[in-house]
Structure formats: structure tokens, C-alpha cells
Amino acid sequence: MTMPRSGRRAIVPAGCTCQRGWMDIKPVTRATVAKAFVGTVAYLVGLVLFLWHVNGPLSHPMMIAMASAVVVVLTLELRAFPERRRREDGIEMTIHGARCQGSTVVEAPASEIPPLVQRACEANPELDLTLNTVEGGRASTGIAFTSWGERLRFVVRPLSATRTAVTATCRPAFPLELTNWGRSERHLHRFLSGVQQAAATRSAALPRPMS
């Protein structure tokens, strides 16, 4: 199977020969946040040691300024640890700072989810859909003032012939980023609600059985 280039939207046919489980996504947990926090601490310590090596011993005002900056950064990053849940309009989400996951159930067969995902991403220009199949796919966002961008992945699970569960995660593109001021949460909610709305439009357009 040939993957689409970045920036191009594509739907992979239902008959594609993908390996089973290829689109599984990793859940967002406090452990994943802890790994990113440890990486951030290591990065900051390495940066301080590098500056020390290049410039020699730092002056006391400079050391105080750097220590204050590190404390502020780590304090802001700690906001990602508490788990927050959001439930509304048939969407359930779990948020850990810049990392979140969510799911929704739509009244449509799994084979019709790719067109619904396509419409949801077209309604949200910030989401660049790079892979879209009957099993799942992925999208990404560009760099913004408060973020290096986000990566969204989703999986499709058929519940019955007419109902399908869509589960998705949204993570920062920069692995050490722990908070992005709600961007991941906003993109994930817009994606799931967009799929819901597209499914509702599809259902409304279907002919009703004659009584």
C-alpha cells in the first residue's frame, strides 16, 4: 500500500491489505506524561550544562535568572499531570495537558467512516488529513505560537452493521511538550464532533422506509 504524501488527503479502499493491528493507537495515561516530564527535566539540565561548558561559570544574576526560568517552565508543565474528563454531546474525552484521547459512536457502518472523516477535516482547515482508511488514519496540524503542532490518530471499530465507534488521540508533535494551552483538546473535540455531524447529515439524507 502506498501512503499519501504529507498535505494530501486520500481514502484507502476497504480492500487494502494492511497488517492486522497496524492502526492501533497508544492510550494517553499519566505514565506517558511522566515520561515527557522526565525528558523535559533532562533537556533543561543538559542545556544548562552546555551553556556552562561554552561560557564558563555563570554570574550569579544569570544563574538566578536561569533557575527562575526553569522553575516557571516546570511549574507550567506540571499542569499536565492531573487527569481531566470531558463528556458532552456523545463525546467522551480524557485530557492530560497537551495529550488527550476521546471517542464517540456514530450511526453509520464502518465502511462509510472514511468519507465522514474527510468531511470533518475539510470543515476544520487546521487538520491536515494524511491517512484515512476503514480501519483508522491520522492527521496533523501546523506550528502555532503556542505549539510545535499536533498529531492526531484515530481507529475505527464496528459495533454492529449500522453503528461504529471512532476513538482518537491527539499528541504534540514535539515529544517534550506537556501543555499547549488547549490546542490538542480543541482539535480532538472538533474532529470527533465533525464526524458526528457528518454522520447525522448522512442519516438525514437517507430515504425513510415507507409505512
Please give the domain boundaries of the chain with CATH numbers for all domains.
30-79 (no CATH), 83-205 (3.30.310.80)
Helix and strand totals (H; E) in the chain: 4, 7
More confident site: 152 or 63: 152
Confidence bin at 48 (pLDDT 50/70/90): confident
In the numeric block, which cell numbers belong to residue 35?
515520561
pLDDT over 60 at 20, yes or no: no
- What is the rounded distance in angstroms from the CA atom of residue 101 to the CA atom of residue 113? 19
- What is the rounded distance in angstroms from the CA atom of residue 44 to the CA atom of residue 3? 37
Share of the chain above pLDDT 90, in %: 45
- What is the rounded distance in angstroms from the CA atom of residue 14 to the CA atom of residue 9? 16
**pLDDT for 142-201, tens place per residue?**
988 878 899 999 999 999 999 999 999 999 998 878 888 889 999 999 999 999 999 998
Contact 184, 154 (CB under 8 A): no
pLDDT of residue 209: 52
To the nearest 10 degrees (0 to 180), the angle between helices 60-77 and 30-55 is 170
User: Mean pLDDT score of the chain, rounded to an integer?
Assistant: 80
pTM beyond 0.85: the answer is no
Contact 93, 104 (CB under 8 A): no
Contact 131, 13 (CB under 8 A): no
- What is the rounded distance in angstroms from the CA atom of residue 126 to the CA atom of residue 128? 6
pLDDT of residue 24: 63
pLDDT of residue 7: 44
| Helix, strand or coil, per DSSP, at residue 129 | strand
pLDDT over 60 at 114, yes or no: yes
**pLDDT for 66-90, tens place per residue?**
667 666 666 666 666 688 899 998 9
Contact 6, 130 (CB under 8 A): yes
- CB-count burial class (<10 Å; 0-12, 13-18, 19+) for 32: middle
List the one residue out of 174, 146, 177 whose CA is nearest residue 37: 177
Q: In sequence order, which residues have a C-beta less than 8 Å from that of residue 143 and are 6 or more positions away?
A: 149
- What is the rounded distance in angstroms from the CA atom of residue 25 to the CA atom of residue 98? 16
List the one residue out of 179, 190, 19 whose CA is nearest residue 88: 190
- What is the rounded distance in angstroms from the CA atom of residue 28 to the CA atom of residue 75? 21
